[in-house]
Structure 1
Amino acid sequence: MLFNSYIFLLVFLPIALIGWHAMKRAPFRVVLGWLVLVSLVYYGVWNPDEEHEWSPKYLVLILGSCVFNYYLGRSLSRRWREAADSAPPLEDGGGIMPPRAGKLILTAGVTANLLLLGYYKYVGFLGGILNKATDWPTNVPDIVLPLAISFFTFLQIAYLVDAYRGKTEEYHFTDYLLFVTFFPHLIAGPLIHHREMMPQFRKARVGWHRDFPVALGMFLMGLFKKVVIADNLAQIATPIFGLAAADGRDPTMAEAWAGAIAYALQLYFDFSGYSDMALGAARFFGIRFPLNFHSPYKADSIIEFWRRWHMTLSRFLRDYLYIPLGGNRKGPKRRYVNLFLTMLLGGIWHGAGWTFVAWGALHGLLLCVNHAWIGARKKMAWKAMPKVPAVALTFLAVLIGWVFFRAHDFESAGRMLASMFGLHGFGGWPDKAARVVASAEPLKLIPVLIGVWLLPNTQEIFARYRPALRVAGAPYPAGGTRRWWQWRPSKAFAAATLLMAIATGLQFDKVSEFIYFQF
């Protein structure tokens, strides 16, 4: 079920909210049970193949995963407590060393989760590689990727690791099930943390009605970004990338740059719009999610970009992959290896394909270069690059990466990049008969780019009402002086919200998936 669909907006969300409000005097577990029920309905209505009848197997899959990880986590947590009760603290005061059995259980649990994810997401890809190399297997399996399996798998791996470290509480199964399946984050994030969510579920009903105007404003702003901006930019990016993937002429230089920039902006507003809608949908129920998107194209370095883009995924990769690999504790050479491996695996997480491997490897290399440059600059006492050229250079590097992210294969990515940098000539917009998009369409990119770089983002607009939780190590809008453009419940902002809703409604003639749904 999509946030930008009539069934969600006119049926599902009103029923979920009415039921939530009607149960305000019901026992706490009943209220949580209602949210679990509507979340499972939200997930369960998904049918990947409309030519076949709906099947409950994907709902059984996510429920089975939750049961398995919940009881495994309880076992790990119990073993930690038993070790804490019976063993003296470590000499450095760092806590209790977990028992060896706990490590074996954790390894088995993480392995089981990764095997499940690997089967659905990577068996076809690996089978295709093996088939090309050896002609075996003769039939590469065509496996349907269950909705959100990457997100709920990572979520639960983090829970198991924290249980092993003694950082979890004795959660009730309903709490845990809601933590994993709560519908505003289930499909495409943010990757929430149990320590952020569990206390909120217990307090969400207190004053939730005061959150409603803020939630509605954020949700509608996200819907506007998706429907009015991102989906229209797709009409530029899609045919140009399709031209690069098809037999026939190469894109002209102007077309290639227009297509690459259009896709960069489409992805930006698609993901930003989803993130706003996720924050708004959760806020309807009095829940605040961690910030997941904070003007990443304003970043003046690749390091800063990853502090602003998919911030909760960056946090997960840092806490559960980069630091366990050794982080920066084992010298600069090992640090660069860890950075590269972390981003390479992050690229593979995004998709089973060589273009995603290349995208992850490119960002790993760019992060290594960025850190090396910072070290050299400090050592030589060089001044930092001015803000504007630094932002432009960072955007160019990210833009090149997005070509691999979007392209169907290496060949089409190569054709796009070759056209962008003049290897196929320096042609402008083609003649009318050869155009794949209308001549005026690329002009839409200019005001959108200006808005991305100069206008405040959703978090800054709603800063008075604390729209999201802070993510450690990531930038966040500071309090500071209140601005006239910051949202507040006034007639002027109500009118602006209404106009935004009308503009969205006028464009609401198609339903398109969010790009991150495929991951």
Structure 2
Amino acid sequence: MTVLFNSYFFLLLFLPAALRLYRFTLVARGAHGGLLVLLMVSGLFYASWGGHLHLLATSVLGNFLLGYAMQRSGKARQRRWLFAVGVAANLSALAYFKYANFVFQELGLPLVHDGSLPLGISFFTFQQIAFLYFLLRHEEERPALLEYAAAVTFFPHLVSGPLLRYESIMSQMRTKLFGFDRTLVVQGLVLLVLGLAKKVLIADPLSPYVASVFSQAHAEGRVAGVDAICGVLAYSMQLYFDFSGYSDMAIGLGMLFGIRMPSNFNSPYKAADPADFWRRWHISLSQFLRDFIYIPLGGNRYGTVRQSSALMVTMVVGGAWHGAGWTFIIWGAWHAIWLCLWHVAKPHARMVPAWIVRGLTLVVVITGWVWFRSPDIPTALAIFDAMAHPWNQTSKLLAGWPVILGVSTALLLSLGAPNSQEICAILTRDTWLARKWIWVLFGLFAFATLSRVGGVTEFLYANF
């Protein structure tokens, strides 16, 4: 049985049992025992998703041994060579499982495997490359296998991030990871409930309509214009609340175990411009792409042409990271083009009202999701064609006011409501009276959210 964050099994059995065992072991066996419990719980969680636990274990052990060899080597050239071997090995495994079938299919050759994608391979591949890079830059670091394995496999972030930096997670494991902070636990519970609410109250109800719109466009090559527009808006809300909901739950779960993970979202649909969007959306991935691709390619240091080239490569890689398909590559290129245009236009943007730039940014982002959601190029073109002719035919899919109300509510929340971090701050203010009534309302909200956990669906980013 697959263990999902948004299932009764996880919320009422797996998580309480894991926390209880973790705390008991900390008291009885200390930090070493706590790490062993984290590793065991994460292994059980990962094993429930399929038969790739051996791949994860091999990847963790192989990268650790490479890192160990790097630290034992006293020669800079040999360390760089070992780092290159590690990067090549990690990317080769990712390429085989995620891209080999796509390439062979495009070449008209037989597929090389059954197409099953190991859970979280895109995330733990990038994370371990970052680990090797950290060791390359810090010769004095001496990682321990148990600490490293527990950090990489830590189940809250294993499915879909956030991408953790080695220095951040390891510093916590070596200092105050194992002390339970009451405020941290409260914040963790708040984020857990908020993330679950985003998933089951907003994202999941929009899913059937989104699927029907894109399925019709894929099967028939056409769809009603009003359905295309509403479907794209609905998907924009579904994806945001699904993924930010997962990130909230992951960060909240980490807090329950005493680990702080970086925020992965900061109200991205409130972005002031295209560059600001990528400082707010999937923050940990954006930072990784910036640090390991964009800056090494020159960044903004060598003029407009060099910067534009670096942006194009970075965003295409970011698109391909999400999946093997031309639509993901085009989605990355789409954002690269708009980022390049923004950097050229930015000196003159002060003459344009800020609300216009914000509005255009939101239109660019939402339009780009057509490529991201479509299974192939013809489907995306059918959606775009329908959006350009909103009254081309009568809607067969739009279910009246429930869909319109759901999309409108989600859009207003994404643009006007406080984000999860701001809500956490409100709920943990020092004013006792404010906390009293707010917590009563939050308790009712949590109960209503749990009551809606029914037909369990995977988080969208689990597929990446």
TM-score (norm. length: structure 2): 0.94
1:24 and 2:56 aligned = no
For residues 99-498 of structure 1, what are the structure 2 equivalents within 5 Å? 99-131=76-108, 137-138=109-110, 141-166=113-138, 169-202=141-174, 203-247=176-220, 250-375=222-347, 377=348, 383-422=350-389, 426-427=391-392, 430=395, 434-435=396-397, 437-438=399-400, 440-463=402-425, 490-498=435-443
Contact 2:213 / 2:397 at 8 angstroms: preserved in 1?
no
Q: In structure 1, the residue corresponding to 2:107 is in which secondary structure?
A: helix
Partners in 2 of 1:483 and 1:33 — Cα distance?
37
Gaps of 5+ in 1: 48-54, 84-98, 132-136, 467-481
Shift of 1:488: 9.5
Shift of 1:462: 1.4
Shift of 1:506: 3.0
Gaps of 5+ in 2: none
Partners in 2 of 1:168 and 1:465 — Cα distance?
42
The CA RMSD over aligned residues, in Å, is 2.1
Partners in 2 of 1:396 and 1:428 — Cα distance?
23
Contact 1:219 / 1:278 at 8 angstroms: preserved in 2?
yes
Partners in 2 of 1:162 and 1:403 — Cα distance?
37
The CA deviation string for residues 317-337 of structure 1, in whole angstroms up to 9 with x for no partner, is: 011111122222333211110
Contact 1:239 / 1:436 at 8 angstroms: preserved in 2?
no
Shift in alpha-carbon separation, 1:179–1:347, aligned structure 2, 3 A: same
The CA deviation string for residues 122-171 of structure 1, in whole angstroms up to 9 with x for no partner, is: 0110011110xxxxx24564331101011000000111112112267212
Partners in 2 of 1:207 and 1:502 — Cα distance?
25
Question: Which amino acid in structure 2 is aligned with residue 60 of structure 1?
Answer: H
Shift of 1:305: 0.3
Larger Cα-atom Rg = 1
Q: In structure 2, the residue corresponding to 1:246 is in which secondary structure?
A: helix
Name 2:68's counterpart in structure 1.
74
Contact 1:220 / 1:497 at 8 angstroms: preserved in 2?
no
The CA deviation string for residues 11-56 of structure 1, in whole angstroms up to 9 with x for no partner, is: 2101111012212322221111111111111111112xxxxxxx4x
Q: In structure 2, the residue corresponding to 1:326 is in which secondary structure?
A: coil
1:13 and 2:15 aligned = yes
The CA deviation string for residues 448-485 of structure 1, in whole angstroms up to 9 with x for no partner, is: 2111111110111113699xxxxxxxxxxxxxxx799x
Identity %: 41
Contact 2:192 / 2:250 at 8 angstroms: preserved in 1?
yes
Question: Which amino acid in structure 1 is aligned with residue 203 of structure 2?
Answer: A
Partners in 2 of 1:258 and 1:428 — Cα distance?
14
Question: Which amino acid in structure 2 is aligned with residue 304 of structure 1?
Answer: D
1:506 and 2:451 aligned = yes
Shift in alpha-carbon separation, 1:139–1:179, aligned structure 2, 3 A: closer
Partners in 2 of 1:360 and 1:246 — Cα distance?
25
Shift in alpha-carbon separation, 1:16–1:264, aligned structure 2, 3 A: same
Shift in alpha-carbon separation, 1:465–1:153, aligned structure 2, 3 A: farther
Contact 1:221 / 1:500 at 8 angstroms: preserved in 2?
no
Question: Which amino acid in structure 1 is aligned with residue 353 of structure 2?
Answer: P
Shift in alpha-carbon separation, 1:338–1:465, aligned structure 2, 3 A: farther
Aligned residue pairs, count: 460
Shift of 1:116: 0.4
Partners in 2 of 1:429 and 1:300 — Cα distance?
36
Contact 1:187 / 1:517 at 8 angstroms: preserved in 2?
yes
Shift in alpha-carbon separation, 1:33–1:140, aligned structure 2, 3 A: closer
Question: Which amino acid in structure 2 is aligned with residue 18 of structure 1?
Answer: R
Contact 1:128 / 1:140 at 8 angstroms: preserved in 2?
no
Q: In structure 2, the residue corresponding to 1:146 is in which secondary structure?
A: coil
Contact 1:355 / 1:404 at 8 angstroms: preserved in 2?
yes
Contact 1:184 / 1:282 at 8 angstroms: preserved in 2?
yes
Residue number among 28, 35, 46 corresponding to 2:49 in the alignment: 46
Partners in 2 of 1:264 and 1:488 — Cα distance?
38
Partners in 2 of 1:110 and 1:489 — Cα distance?
51
Partners in 2 of 1:488 and 1:450 — Cα distance?
29
- Pick the structure with more helix per residue: 2
Q: In structure 2, the residue corresponding to 1:306 is in which secondary structure?
A: helix
Contact 2:26 / 2:33 at 8 angstroms: preserved in 1?
no
Name 1:475's counterpart in structure 2.
none
Partners in 1 of 2:352 and 2:242 — Cα distance?
30
Contact 2:427 / 2:438 at 8 angstroms: preserved in 1?
no
The CA deviation string for residues 204-260 of structure 1, in whole angstroms up to 9 with x for no partner, is: 222434422221111001100001100011122111111111126x22221111000
Partners in 2 of 1:37 and 1:419 — Cα distance?
51
Which deviates further from its counterpart, 259-268 or 358-367? 358-367
TM-score (norm. length: structure 1): 0.85
The CA deviation string for residues 83-142 of structure 1, in whole angstroms up to 9 with x for no partner, is: 5xxxxxxxxxxxxxxx222222111110011000000000110011110xxxxx245643
